[in-house]
Structure 1
Amino acid sequence: MAVTDVQGLVSGELSVATSHHIGLHRLPEILKEYKRSYPNVELNLSFMASEAAYDMVVEGKVDLAVATLSQHQHRAVRTTNVWNDPLVCVCGLEHPIADLAVCSAKNLVKHPALLPEKGTITRVIIERWFEEQGLTITTTMETNYLETLKTMTSVGLGWSVLPEVMVDTSLRTIGIPGLRVHRSLGIVTHKNKTMSPAASAFIQMLKTPPP
């Protein structure tokens, strides 16, 4: 039965794991519309790193996750890409490279970087590109809280690679020739778990977000 046929019957609990970044930048309007459309659903959100969100799905501790999608598919989960999330190189307005129209990757890595923790999906994406150029990044700060990386980058502690959606007037985007990296953000569900009407309605709304 289609979700639209059972809207009046959609109730119960829905547990969703997601990252702080997605919760701040991708979900607010969707959550608002979901609560308006399905007021009888008790929505429980848990914020964590995307890697932990995957684990929660695999272990059956949440109904689904909205996370940065791994490039290596876990055999127990099914993923659906929802958003393409371009990443850009940024620095603070007073950083030594801030006034360069273009900065080579070789010159960039002479300066310390502020990046997500090693082994995370986003860090792997970033490091892979630099490794392909034969370059190694030196970090002076690592955290999975992208808002913290943004703030520390803006005050000049180093350069970073952040989602383009986060860039504002406190940061300077640095043109790095050949740098074209992005993340895929989307839905993670367990292959052997049947989605409840509440979960199915949420997934449908993620795929067709409100205008």
Structure 2
Amino acid sequence: MEIRQLRTFMCIVKLGSFSQAAQFLGYTQSSVTTHIQLLEKELNTVLFERFGHQLMLTTDGERLYEYADSITRLAEDAKNDLDHSASPRGPIIIGMPESLCVYHLSELLQEYISLYPEVELKLKFGISSDFRLLLRKNMMDIAFFLEKTISDHDLVASFLWSEPIVLAASPRNELSRLERIDARHLKGQTLIFVEAGSIYRSMLEKKLAKASVRPRSILEIGQIQTIKQFAVNNLGITVLPLIAVKEEIAAGTLVALPWEGTELQTSAFMVYHKEKWLSHNISSFIRLVRERLLK
């Protein structure tokens, strides 16, 4: 029985599927399956069973989970207690929106890697709702949120900076000629969004719903660079952090539409769970963020 097999087993339980666990851990699905098969063979039992599309723990699986949780925690405690090396080492899992990584945090990440080359930095792109779940399941160490405010009682959040949001379109778009626009002007327009759940998409969708406005269509695209190119080609209007379209606006390939009404703005936060054990590598990262970015 290996620690990595137990961690794979716990990851499947927390995420609810072999495929999601494989994606999160960076394994092939066949490797995840092999880990479970080896555990089942060694323990002479079955750990999972399926009811339709739902993956369920067997009674023995439930019992093993309790042991696995204790074993992996003890292993981590032993490592933290006995590792007296001066330099941080080991893995650290950090979640962040793509826009923050590309336009705000890349230099800081590079500095951290240079300072602590023995740390294995693992970045996960996504949205705040996903990060909350992973932080609470102790499957992510630190996350960066884009939100107006954070009031979760079980999370420790440090405000970093205010992040203005803009509606961006091609200068060929008809709305670029208006002095002021509001939600009503977006009726019949094509909107280009990142995945559902992002704060800036949600902000605009709420304003459209309040004004009873329906766009002609919505394009959902996962990559910010592709979203910007679609907008440059006048295939629709997008909403993104200003920093993500600053160069295109300066070059004249995109324009920031003059939004009227409540300001589109959010904030960046560094977040971790209040019960998280802050190992040497995690505390070193938090300290660097506070030294470089804390306002």
Provide the TM-score with structure 1 as the length reference.
0.83
The alpha-carbon distance between structure 1 residues 171 and 7, as it changes in their structure 2 partners (threshold 3 A), is farther
Deviations 1:2-47 (A, max 9, x none): xxxx993423322212222221111111011112222332222222
Structure 1 104/22 Cα, relative in aligned 2: closer, same or farther at 3 Å? closer
Q: Distance in 2 between matches of 1:147 and 1:79?
A: 29
Q: 1:143 to 1:76 in 2, by over 3 A?
A: farther
- 1:100 maps to what in 2? 178
Equivalent residue, structure 1, for 2:43: none
SS of the equivalent of 2:158 reads strand
Q: 1:65-91: per-residue Cα shift (whole Å, max 9, x none)?
A: 123247564443222221211001111
Larger fraction in strand: 1
Q: Give, in whole Å, the separation in 2 of the partners of 1:36 and 1:118.
A: 35
Contact persistence 2:183–2:213 (CA under 8 A): no
Q: Aligned residue pairs: how many? A: 204
User: Greater helix percent: which structure?
Assistant: 2
Distance 1:70 1:57, change over 3 A: farther
1:155 maps to 2:233: yes
Work out which structure has the larger RCO, using CA pairs closer than 8 Å and 6 or more positions apart in sequence: 1
User: Is 1:206 the counterpart of 2:284 in the alignment?
Assistant: no
Give, in whole Å, the separation in 2 of the partners of 1:46 and 1:32: 16
| 1:17–1:66 contact (8 Å) kept in structure 2 | yes
- Work out the CA distance in 1 between the residues paired with 2:152 and 2:193: 25
Counterpart of 2:118, as a letter, is N
Q: Which residue of 2 aligns with 1:66?
A: 144
- After the TM superposition, which residues 74-113 of structure 1 pair with which residues of structure 2 at under 5 Å, given as runs? 74-113=152-191
Map residues 1-211 of structure 1 onto 2, 5 A cutoff.
8-69=86-147, 71=149, 73-132=151-210, 134-138=211-215, 139-167=217-245, 168=248, 169=251, 170-209=253-292
Task: Give the alignment's TM-score, normalised by structure 2.
Answer: 0.61
Pair 164,189 (structure 1): closer, same or farther in 2 beyond 3 Å: same
SS at structure 1 position matched to 2:259:
coil
Q: Secondary structure at the match of 1:149?
A: helix
Structure 1 vs Structure 2 CA RMSD: 2.5
In percent, how many aligned pairs have the same letter? 23
